[in-house]
Amino acid sequence: MNFAYTITSSKSFNDATRAIEQAVAVNGFRVLHTHDVQQTFAEKGVAREPYKIVEVCNVKYASQALNADPLIGLMMPCKIVVFAEPGATKISLLLPSLLSEFFPHANLGAMAREVETILRAVVDSAK
């Protein structure tokens, strides 16, 4: 099962994170929160490479999904991760089309594909 769309960015980790946050807004979504995993781990005495989880949402799509099945909230909001690997910055999107696989009775295929197309473009804009 393919669950993620991942690219390698030519941008630095911080520039790629900013590019994602800006592209989200331009594409009708909103950043709800950006988790700085590296900082959180450091506060607990654990070292890790830079890693951020950007949680994004569009209320129209979110409302449609939750109306179809309240348990879809377990997979919300949409998440984009930005992380550093030696010599590279990676950006990965959890594919919204997974909603159709986990909740086939909700009939969200077209909406999930639309959200996925938009968020893939957001990720691609940060290359």
**Tens digits of per-residue pLDDT, 67-102?**
999 999 999 999 999 999 999 999 999 999 988 888
Distance in angstroms (rounded) separating the CA atoms of residues 67 and 56: 19
The number of domains in the chain is 1
Q: Which of 37, 33, 32 is nearest to 13 (CA)?
A: 37
Is this structure's pTM higher than 0.75? yes
**Following DSSP, what letter does each residue of 32-49 receive, concatenated?**
EEEEEHHHHHHHTT----
Collapse the DSSP code of 21 into the 3-class scheme (helix H, G, I; strand E, B; otherwise coil) and give the result.
helix
Residues of the chain with pLDDT under 70: 1
Query: Domain of 101?
Result: 4-124
Per-residue model confidence (pLDDT) at position 7: 98
Alpha helices in the chain (DSSP H): 13-26, 37-43, 59-68, 98-102, 109-124
Distance in angstroms (rounded) separating the CA atoms of residues 2 and 55: 20
CATH number of the domain that residue 116 is part of: 3.30.310.70
Residue 35: beta bridge partners?
Answer: 53
- Amino acid occupying residue 15: D
- Is the Cβ–Cβ distance between 71 and 106 less than 8 Å? no
